[in-house]
A and B are shown apart, each in its own frame.
Chain A
Amino acid sequence: MAYSQKVIDHYENPRNVGSLDAQDAAVGTGLVGAPACGDVMKLQIKVSDQGIIEDAKFKTFGCGSAIASSSLVTEWIKGKSLEEAGEIKNTTIAQHLSLPPVKIHCSMLAEDAIRAAIRDYKAKHPSA
């Protein structure tokens, strides 16, 4: 299968690979997917007092499209407010990376990962 140039770029030079301290009150962690399905994404965000995502890190078990989708969204969400980040749609991710239909689930997983990280952060800050 032919991957798009953008997928190859993110796969070969993934942005923001790593982990943040999940115990830190400023950090929200999202872990989505399942090993049995061949895709697991861990996405972490570090949120400022003003509610802006200052840092984002990911680790992904999956195919090149899954790695690229998660790498891409870490770039996109940095500097965004939680609300803006939560509005990122899988279709935008899929379009940007030119994912074929069989790989659309990778972009859906990346969208889920952002939402899960935001949910985790909000759970730590009930008033936010």
Chain B
Amino acid sequence: MVKRPIYLDYQSTTPCDPRVLKMMLPYFTEEFGNPHSRSHAYGWKAEEAVDHAREQVAAILCADPREVIFTSGATEANNLAIKGVAHFYKEQKNHIITCSTEHKCVLDSCRHLQQEGFKVTYLPVKSNGIIDLDDLRKAITDQTVLVSIMAVNNEIGVIQPLAEIGKICRDAGVFFHTDAAQAVGKIPLDVNAMNIDLLSLSGHKLYGPKGVGALYVRRKPRVRLQALINGGGQERGMRSGTLSTPLCVGLGEACALAQTEMSAESIRLKALNARFYKAIQDSLEEVYLNGDAEQRIPGNLNISFAHVEGEGLMMGIKELALSSGSACTSASLEPSYVLRALGVEVEMAHTSLRIGFGRFTTEEDVDTAAQMIIKEVNRLRDMSPLWEMSRQGIDIKSIQWAEH
């Protein structure tokens, strides 16, 4: 068998933990009942499993199980939170606040609401990727119904000040939603201490199965939503459709494992991250970390390698599975909007790599990856006219480039 690349793309997805899969399997075959069937033991067994999973999901958020709505993933949860709140309260309020580095599904949901006539404020971020709390305070009006700010950014891994945002929102009487797809199982979360009213999460970002996620919806003070999916009234009427018992069980087990292992795993990942970054910095000049160095999850690095184009670099390190901010493969040819929002120059955004470490990353993986990247960056810099100019002391910005 051909040796597979070293997986360093844990912000994109994670493998389902074998311990999670093991818990799921019986619910595909023997325990196949419909968890909403109340009239026989098949249904009761499935319902019991779903209830247990709901408790496990609630536990990692310090929430009540009755506040957890299962969805198909974080995209659906984000859509439900944002559109659901906006639509339910539209007679009273019509303004939403979010930020420019949110995941596409949050931004696109907001754009959709703008087309319906809602007003949306997109807060900028500081150069470290974190919002300015004063900007948030100033943006809130008596028309604001919802603030949606992600917990952890998917590209640069920075952690937003959730507790501070929550307090501002609670004091102003505004609901606070956070997309925590990249945060659950990575950093401690407490919906009560942080005054979070709605929280989205995803199974496959925390070693659970793909195709399942959840939305936390606060009961006290109650947050109401208009459903996106109508039907049999499952999930307290907020999300109709028969639940997938095995997927719910998998999500629950993934949350339980993450909760137990988070503190030890954070320490391990922090050490791997530091080891990798030190190796890079010791061997290469002009490498820049994108996003705050401290306020970030331990499993993420986003680095610009000046004068080396990201996609070209990735082609040279095909034994590594990771992603680039260059996005030259996409039809738009536009580099990452997240890096641009930080004020990273377009040319530097083209030179970035996102490196994600996770549960199955070893020290050996990290050392191999660092050596491969160093070797390839040096090779491509020797081939780069920009590197040559910068060595000659020519300011690349002083040249009149013909943008094409």
List residues of chain A with CB under 8 Å of any chain B CB. 1, 3, 11, 14, 17, 19, 31-42, 59-64, 66-67, 102, 105, 108-109
Contact = CB atoms under 8 A, between A and B. Distances in A.
B385 A59 contact: yes
B315 interface: yes
Interface of B is mostly: loop
Please list the 7 inter-chain residue pairs (A to B) with the smallest Cβ-Cβ separation, ordered nearest first: A34-B401, A35-B347, A42-B385, A59-B385, A36-B346, A63-B311, A64-B315
Contacts of A33: 401-402, 404
Interface stretch (B151-159, B325-333, B363-371): B325-333
Contacts of B350: 35-36, 38
Chain A, interface SS category: mixed
B402 A62 contact: no
Contacts of B55: none
B396 interface: yes
A63 B404 contact: no
Contacts of A60: 383-385
A105 B404 CA distance: 9
9 contacts: A33-B402, A36-B403, A38-B347, A61-B307, A61-B385, A63-B311, A63-B326, A66-B309, A102-B329
Given A11-B316, A33-B404, A38-B335, A63 B328 contact: yes
A60 B387 CA distance: 10
Nearest to A62: B309
A109 B404 contact: yes
B141 to A, nearest CB: 37
Contacts of B402: 32-34
B382 A38 contact: no
Nearest to B345: A36
B400 to A, nearest CB: 9
Given A37-B404, A38-B333, A63 B312 contact: yes
B401 A64 contact: no
Contacts of B386: 35, 40, 61
Contact of A17 (B309, B326, B382): B382
Given A17-B383, A60-B385, A63-B328, A39 B309 contact: yes
A34 to B, nearest CB: 4
Contacts of B307: 61
B335 A63 contact: no
Nearest to A12: B316
A108 B347 CA distance: 20
Contacts of B48: none
B312 A67 contact: yes
B308 interface: yes
B401 A59 contact: no
Interface in B68-107: none
Given A17-B382, A59-B385, A61-B386, A66 B401 contact: no
A19 B345 CA distance: 27
